[in-house]
């Protein structure tokens, strides 16, 4: 079969949709879903097309024709994904287990089309969780002195397993530019606040101190600036004056795991496009 997801980004111009859909039509493709967005202030065009072709040969001819035709004509940046590619995802964790449990449960339930070849942690604490789900666990301790060396070990593992993207499931270390450069817009983090409120450490303490009536969680791509990367998903929960910091932490755990898992799913479905520091989420 020939299921394709085509992501297109270019300057806004007349005729992009017409030429693109015509090219699909000419190769006997069927459009299942089309999502499109124009940023009028920046004249930027974005589109995600899910389509089906009769066979792999049609896909091959369409791809060739599209790259030599509309893609060239409109100076597009294009990504094409087939339904048979299963992405490889690496998990980074520290000591908190709720996001890890949630992700591995979905993995075992086959909720997602993904491979998880291994888990990396700077602490040994969650080894038993990895074991109970049968996933290799690499304990790579990190100290100020060993940070550079530890990241080389991480990169080696990532490359050896041809990892496509990384999920920081409450990983309590700042990721260095070297790793970020190797995985641009491909490292998903979960931050336990409603960003941009309460970036950095101990957001639940700050939320309690400020007396907010709603707490949140934010999943975003990691960039060089801490907790300031493109936001993929956010969600919130009500709290009251009677909730202690410990209560916020407990309530927040459910938010964190749901918001992180939603972001992973959107990323896996190629529904997220990054533009500047914002995301277009076709959902």
Residues that bind its own copies (CB under 8 A): 14-15, 17-19, 21-22, 24-25, 28-34, 36-38, 40, 97-98, 101-102, 105, 108-109, 111, 129, 132-134, 194-198, 210-214, 216, 230-236, 238, 240-242, 244, 250, 253-254, 258, 261, 277-281, 283
Most distant CA pair in the chain, distance: 63
CA-CA distance, 36 to 59, in Å (whole number)? 22
In the bound state with its own copies, the residue whose beta carbon lies nearer, of 84 and 244, is 244
Closest CB to its own copies among 36 and 127? 36
Q: Which is nearer to its own copies, 151 or 198 (CB)?
A: 198
Please, which residues have CB within 8 angstroms of residue 82's CB and are 6 or more apart in sequence? 2, 3, 4, 5, 59
Catalytic residue from among 227, 235, 247, 254: 227
Report the alpha-carbon distance of residue 16 to residue 258 in Å, rounded.
36
User: Please, is 211 exposed, middle or buried when counting C-beta atoms within 10 Å of its C-beta (0-12, 13-18, 19+)?
Assistant: exposed
Q: Which is nearer to its own copies, 37 or 138 (CB)?
A: 37
Closest CB 144 distance from its own copies, rounded Å: 30
Q: How far is the CB of 277 from its own copies (least distance, A)?
A: 6
Q: What is the DSSP letter of 110?
A: T
Comparison of 87 and 199: residue with beta carbon closer to its own copies: 199
- DSSP class of residue 33 equals E
Q: How far is the CB of 279 from its own copies (least distance, A)?
A: 6
Instruction: Determine how β-strand 119-121 pairs with β-strand 137-139.
Output: parallel
Shortest Cβ 206–its own copies spacing (Å): 8
Q: Evaluate whether 151 touches 139 at the Cβ level (below 8 Å).
A: no
Distance CA 172, CA 120 (A): 12
> SS3 string of 144-205?
CCCHHHHHHHHHHHHHHCCCCEEEECCCCCCCCHHHHHHCCCCEEEEECCCCCCCCCCCHHH
* 254 carries an active-site annotation: no
Is residue 11 helix, strand or coil?
A: strand
To the nearest whole angstrom, how small is the minimum distance from the Cβ of residue 176 to its own copies?
A: 24
Report, as residue numbers or ranges, the catalytic residues. 227
């Amino acid at each position: 079969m020939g299921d394709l997801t085509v992501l297109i980004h270019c300057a806004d111009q007349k005729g992009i949709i017409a030429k693109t859909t015509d090219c699909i039509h000419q190769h006997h493709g069927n459009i299942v879903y089309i999502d499109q967005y124009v940023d009028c202030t920046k004249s930027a065009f974005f589109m995600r097309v899910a389509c089906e072709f009769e066979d792999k040969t049609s896909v091959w001819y369409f791809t060739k024709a599209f790259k030599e035709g509309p893609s060239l004509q409109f100076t597009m940046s294009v990504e094409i994904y087939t339904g048979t590619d299963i992405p490889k995802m690496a998990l980074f964790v520290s000591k908190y287990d709720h996001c890890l449990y949630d992700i591995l449960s979905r993995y075992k339930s086959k909720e997602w089309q993904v491979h998880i070849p291994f888990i990396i942690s700077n602490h040994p604490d969650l080894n038993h969780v990895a074991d109970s789900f049968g996933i290799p666990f690499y304990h790579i301790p990190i100290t100020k002195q060993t940070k550079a060396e530890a990241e080389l070990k991480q990169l080696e593992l990532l490359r050896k397993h041809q990892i496509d993207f990384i999920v920081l499931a409450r990983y309590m270390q700042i990721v260095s530019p070297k790793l970020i450069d190797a995985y641009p817009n491909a490292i998903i983090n979960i931050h336990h606040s409603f960003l941009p409120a309460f970036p950095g450490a101990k957001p639940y303490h700050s939320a309690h101190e400020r007396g907010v009536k709603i707490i949140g969680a934010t999943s975003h791509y990691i960039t060089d600036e801490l907790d300031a990367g493109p936001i993929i998903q956010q969600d919130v929960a009500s709290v009251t004056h009677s909730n202690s910091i410990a209560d916020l932490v407990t309530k927040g755990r459910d938010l964190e795991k749901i918001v992180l898992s939603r972001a992973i799913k959107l990323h896996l479905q190629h529904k997220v496009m990054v533009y500047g520091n914002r995301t277009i989420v076709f959902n």
